Amino acid sequence: MAKTPERRTDPNQVVPGARSVLAFATSYRSGEAPPGDRLRAELRGKVARYAWSQDYHDVLTKELRDIVAAVEKEAGVDGNKTYVDTGPVLERDIAVRAGLGFASKNTNLIRPGDGSFLFLGAGISKAEIDPTPSDARPGCGSCRICLDDCPTKAIVAPHVVDARLCISYLTIELRGAIPRHLRRAIGAWVFGCDVCQDVCPWNAAGKADARPEFRARSEEDTAPSLPALLALDDDGFRRRFKGTPVLRTKRRGLLRNAAVALGNHRDPRGTPPLQSALLDPEPLVRGHAAWALGEIALHAGDAAARAALATARAREADPAVREEIESALAAC
């Protein structure tokens, strides 16, 4: 974002002759994830709500294009650009200026009555449209629940998130190894994180009214089985998550995350799938499986987990994976 700030703050840099920006928001909140005790009992992980269903980019982009095109046809102009988290626009700030809500301390847009589980979009148009008044005022007051409850303390100050600490970044955008000192804080999250939204009082009062396209089809969408995730090959991963946001993390990223979540459950039942993951073709997966086995050996006293690490040490050729195995063995 820092590379082209002028394109993000001046719509004319994107659409020459732009006169208006249209802001859009739609709720994706629906249902609840299983409670933590069930996740542990069934060795399940957690997926952020926005990824429970169809990819919002695919669903909303065409709709926004049709709406903005209809506006421009009425105005007798053309040449718009529409974005759903895909281009050089600051959707949240645009939404605030358009009166759709206020920016919260966890940096999300909150719309009173709906909360913050919102997809945002923007259309830059040459049509000259009277602006809607923005009466949105900061509504967090002295509340700091999101700052205090963030597992990795990624919200370093009100309205400031250190992305390098954010679980959503760590489980989706980060392509390499998750820093070891942050792995325990990730808990059972395998794709994204909703903690700062789940604890927000505005969401406690919000209504669950997501469109059918954004509702989970089954519990496997909201809380997938971790052993089942670790068993996915490339084809299985693509089939299972076709048309969903989870594809973004790629197979090796999702299995990396599943290994960490299984390690955080600290349950000996996780040893067999993690032992199999030590043979995965991806070093990233093998390394995190080694860490997870170390957690099970350390906290559950599982001899099988320690034996699996010792066996893997004898055959592992990748230096980074060997280091993970040595560290896990040393810890337990």
Q: Report the catalytic residues.
A: 85
Round to whole Å and give the CA distance between 74 and 220.
45
Give the tokens for residue 265: 């459950």
Round to whole Å and give the CA distance between 230 and 241.
14
Give the tokens for residue 133: 């008044």
User: Do 37 and 181 touch, CB atoms closer than 8 A?
Assistant: no
Give the tokens for residue 281: 């073709």
Phi, psi of 161 (to 5 degrees): -115, 130
User: Do 119 and 50 touch, CB atoms closer than 8 A?
Assistant: yes
The label of the residue with tokens 């919000």 reads: 206
The label of the residue with tokens 């900061």 reads: 138
Within the chain, strands assigned E span 20-27, 46-47, 81-83, 102-103, 109-110, 118-125, 155-157, 160-161, 189-191
